[in-house]
Amino acid sequence: MSQQKQSHPDSHLHPEATGLAKTTVEAHAKEQPLKFYAGWFCPFVQRAWLILEEKKIQYQYIEVNPYHKPKSLLDLNPRGLVPTLAYNDRPLYESTVLCEFLEDAFPDSTPKIIPAFHRFLQYQPLKGESEQQAKDGENVVRQEFLGKLKEFTREMDKEGPYFWGKEPKMVDFAIVPWAVRLWVFDYFKSGLGIPEEGQGGDDEGAWARWRKWLNAMEERDSVKATTSEKQYFVPIYQRYADNTAQSELAKAKRSGRGVP
């Protein structure tokens, strides 16, 4: 292994899932025809993982450090990206399928949550800006993200608790990996700014519906079973907050390209 790979800052992430997610991984360690190449930390992985868990599909979980990709993954997917599903050595790229579904179903709202999330998280003030200018700039990307959350919420079924009504659908599972990571803005930024119950003013209806949806999703066994402990995410998201992460997603946002 080259010294360059050894010294890559993103290569030293925690090597495995923790908490309930570790229990889920261990339950899927045995050989299976369907193999799930995954990274415990990745929200795109969690999208596909949730569907596997919700549908009770038998699969083999294979943990991948994206900077030390196994040959078995590269033989299936030359880019070595996770998630990759393989059935009888035939690769499937589940998260891409989900993104295409969302783009077709909600071209003006839902998919834009994810880029707005990363624009806010990776925001850095320009050199020479005053403290006030930096705060104002951060508030612009914060309000953009909050706006996308409200757009998403206003498309929901009025009763819920899920997006389409009483049962969760693909759209719920496609967005929740980012929703359960909103704590990063309290940790790395000066808060996200979603108002407390009863304090949303003219937008209280939207925020009440958001809270109802998020509470319902956080209580899903599949969400609990695929989410690791927060402390192990901190060094990963620290690099995003510093805008130094070298993932394909981080590089795409820095260059102004869309989510890969």
- The Cβ of residue 203 has, within 10 Å, a number of other Cβ atoms equal to 15
Q: What is the CATH number of the domain that holds 51?
A: 3.40.30.10
**pLDDT value, residue 176:** 95
Q: Are residues 200 and 86 in the same domain?
A: no
For the chain of 260 residues, list the mean pLDDT of each consecutive stretch of 10. Answer: 47 88 98 92 91 88 88 90 84 60 46 85 86 90 95 94 94 93 93 90 95 97 97 91 76 64
**63: β partners:** 38
Tell me the pTM: 0.85
Q: Assign 35 to helix, strand or coil.
A: strand
168, 55 Cβ separation under 8 angstroms: no
Q: Are residues 92 and 112 in the same domain?
A: no
Count structural domains, the chain.
2
Distance (Å) of CA 248 to CA 14, 44, 80, 132, 251:
19, 12, 11, 32, 5
In a domain, 260, yes or no: no
Burial level of 248, CB count in 10 A (0-12/13-18/19+)?
middle
Q: Assign 184 to helix, strand or coil.
A: helix
Structure tokens at 58: 């038998």
**pLDDT value, residue 91:** 80
Assess whether 42 carries a catalytic annotation. Answer: yes
Distance CA 77, CA 74 (A): 5
**35: β partners:** 60, 86
Q: What is the CATH number of the domain that holds 175?
A: 1.20.1050.10
- Measuring CA to CA, which residue among 79, 68, 41 is closest to residue 240? 41
* Active-site hit among 17, 42, 217, 236: 42
**pLDDT value, residue 32:** 94
Q: Are residues 186 and 140 in the same domain?
A: yes
Q: Are residues 248 and 129 in the same domain?
A: yes
Distance CA 59, CA 33 (A): 7
Structural domain that includes position 171: 108-255
**pLDDT value, residue 217:** 98
In a domain, 13, yes or no: no
